[in-house]
Amino acid sequence: MASQKSSEELKTRTPKRQRGHDRVVILLEAAAKVFARKGYEAATMTEIAAEANSSIGSLYQFFPTKPLLAEALHIERLERLKAGLRGMAERSTGLSAADSGEAIFHALGAFMEEYPEFSVLAGRRDIPKERKARSRAELKELIAGVLRQAQPPISDDIALMSGIVLELLRIVVAVAAEPDAAEDRRVAGELRLMLRKRLEEAATKG
């Protein structure tokens, strides 16, 4: 009898969990649209709830504050970015070092086009320092994984090269948050050319 009751309780809880998960997805996607459209500071929880066709109470039930909501969305998008870099490492064997760098930038461009809210989230001032440091280390290692597949191999310091690539990616993300900053976009383009030359040099040493 107890076993039957436990099974029934589990069946009851599972749909509730699924509904809760589905609701979180809807709320996060609504937040993404509002952050991309309004920016982080200007976006309000009321607007996000309206975008999700949800009550403000339901939004607060899952995300009590805007920083918590933004952090959850940022982490979700970071996981997508990291998954893309992992896949790139698997597919990039045989590319030159310079072409590997270009591939990373091309992938970031496609990612930013699909998730325009990412630059807004990355530019927040209230990102937890510990999480920022951890994400930076993870991204740097994933970039290094792509560069390690280069042919001919990079004989320079891979950690240094991946750090340079990551810093340039951060500039591109920052520029994406300022769509009217044409001069900054030109600077980002020049930096990409400089990176290509640097990676070419790194592959010819030794």
- Whole-number CA gyration radius for the chain: 21
Q: What's the pLDDT score for residue 19? A: 75
Dump pLDDT digits (tens) for 117-138.
999 999 999 998 999 999 999 9
- Burial (0-12, 13-18, 19+ Cβ within 10 Å), 46: exposed
- State the 10-residue block means of pLDDT for the chain, 206 residues long: 54 63 95 96 97 96 96 96 92 89 89 93 91 94 93 88 90 74 71 89 75
Q: What's the pLDDT score for residue 156? A: 81
Q: What's the pLDDT score for residue 184? A: 67
CA 190 to chain CA centroid, Å, is: 23
Q: What's the pLDDT score for residue 92? A: 84
pTM of the entire structure? 0.83
3-state secondary structure of 201: helix
**DSSP label of 153:** P
CA 84 to chain CA centroid, Å, is: 10
Q: What's the pLDDT score for residue 36? A: 95
Determine the Cα–Cα distance for residues 85 and 205; give it in Å rounded to an integer: 26
- Burial (0-12, 13-18, 19+ Cβ within 10 Å), 101: buried
Q: What's the pLDDT score for residue 5? A: 55
